[in-house]
Structure 1
């Protein structure tokens, strides 16, 4: 029971500020555990009935309300025997408390729904070049056994996806090169041959195979620095004994193919989903021109059931990822 005081609670603001300074997270950490209690008492305007509804001892509820008022330095209730009524300050506080509690409940429902084994969510990132065929095919196959699992799909370049993985925005990502970092777990799934793409009127266009060194004097169009394919291009050219002269940098492989078709340079690219007119794609015989595709996730990050199921599925596709 909340006992009726002879006067309004008197709380020293200096004492209150001292208490708040010694809480790790400020007012929210101090007040949050008592907000549901406060809303229950306000709803019933009776401590005993509120305690019965919430399944807590009346004495616990009474002490929680007194401490809440002390922490705020404001009287929230006017007390008359066993009944209570909200003060103007209490009514103002209740409006915000009810909104906050409703938001917490919505958040709880959302995370429970995302973790549901049958209909939960997987936040999945992948390279743009895997978006036209590879990823849709993977999801179609996975959903044959998990038809209600939802996907939040993010297309980006490798370093940006790793950043989002570390930030908690992604559960898994398909990327290249396969990352090697102490805070990540990465598994190689497959490799993809890269081709030297040239205009169809290029001096090499009549060939089927070419050594990369034969393109040492060519102008290249490449992805921007920070993209995994750009790093691989630079490394392969260095292995072939030259540094590529870059005329144009882009963000998407098919844009680069368009630049090649326009005669603006040559490029090292993975195979296209659909053959593009105006270019010829040559097999590179030396050095071995491939990029490894792998799946990565944050080390120690607990998986929800749908994420764990999709991770197992991806790992089962080793050597078959690209068809």
Structure 2
């Protein structure tokens, strides 16, 4: 069994089309067909179901493709590791992050210490982040909820409190804390339906025994707080949305019930090789959340 045979099989399995696979591999279709046939003969089992010109992976092929993908993944990881060790590739990091308010500060502070590192940033939901890690699209993910998986490691960074934000003149503004049901009759200004944070806060309200009245929905968290400041309603606000240097004129009330908190953490795939730059960024991020984040945010 040769690597070339495995590569031909991998591409054909992904495309499930001989002509397209041959074009992708830049070989003739007869040569590709013969290679696949020799591989099946060596394995003693067919890998595809053939219906005229159409081919589809069968049960044998699906199992074998999983193994082949692992082989090439390990080879690619090994090549990346050796090049990184030898200094043959640029120090780079790819990170998916769901905290737009903290991202600029985190990156700026890291680059002060590591000016030659190239950072690529992506965003996704927690489910999307899991897929990004599994498909090795990113090195690290900073998420607002745990990411679980057989090969995924998730390290908590910070337990973040979520406040009820009200205007200074609001009748609840002088309260030191509030049970959420006390705000059942308020007008809520919330994130657009479909955002993970909106789903979480809607569930808080249901746990408190009511459905929130939400006539205004916005995508931008800063705009929500400005409307609260103008007296248009109340909102849920996580701590890391409250920059000390640009605090809006709103009052943040702690919520005693339900438990309105979430755990922010950083995740990575254990079988994916992390460059020294990625490891440094992970360690820097952990220290930043432990010791530095309170300098910038309302904690």
> Fold conserved (TM > 0.5)?
yes
Distance 1:162 1:312, change over 3 A: same
Distance 1:198 1:316, change over 3 A: closer
Residue matched to 1:285:
256
Compute the displacement of 1:212 (Å).
Answer: 1.2
Distance 1:17 1:270, change over 3 A: closer
Residue matched to 1:239:
207
Instruction: Select which of 120, 126, 136 maps to 1:168.
Output: 136
Answer yes or no: is 1:295 the counterpart of 2:295.
Answer: no
> What are the Cα deviations for residues 243-298 of structure 1, in whole angstroms up to 9, with x where unaligned?
32332333232122133234443211113112113x32222233332221111223
Residue matched to 1:191:
159
Compute the displacement of 1:119 (Å).
Answer: 4.9
Taking the aligned partners of 2:87 and 2:248, their CA distance within structure 1 comes to: 43
- Where does structure 2 lack aligned partners over 5 or more consecutive residues? 1-27, 37-78, 295-299
Decide which structure has the larger Cα Rg and report it: 1
Taking the aligned partners of 2:223 and 2:125, their CA distance within structure 1 comes to: 15
1:1-323 aligned within 5 A:
17-23=29-35, 116=87, 119-131=90-102, 135-155=103-123, 157-271=125-239, 272-273=242-243, 274-277=246-249, 279-317=250-288, 319-320=290-291, 322-323=293-294
Determine if contact 2:136/2:272 at 8 Å carries over to the other structure. no
Taking the aligned partners of 1:145 and 1:275, their CA distance within structure 2 comes to: 28
Determine if contact 2:166/2:229 at 8 Å carries over to the other structure. yes
TM-score normalised by the chain length of structure 2: 0.61
SS of aligned partner of 1:295: strand
Compute the displacement of 1:122 (Å).
Answer: 0.7
Determine if contact 1:195/1:281 at 8 Å carries over to the other structure. yes
Q: Which runs of 4+ in 1 moved over 6 A?
A: none
SS of aligned partner of 1:300: coil
CA RMSD after TM alignment:
3.3
Taking the aligned partners of 2:223 and 2:122, their CA distance within structure 1 comes to: 19
Taking the aligned partners of 1:215 and 1:300, their CA distance within structure 2 comes to: 47
Taking the aligned partners of 1:185 and 1:258, their CA distance within structure 2 comes to: 38
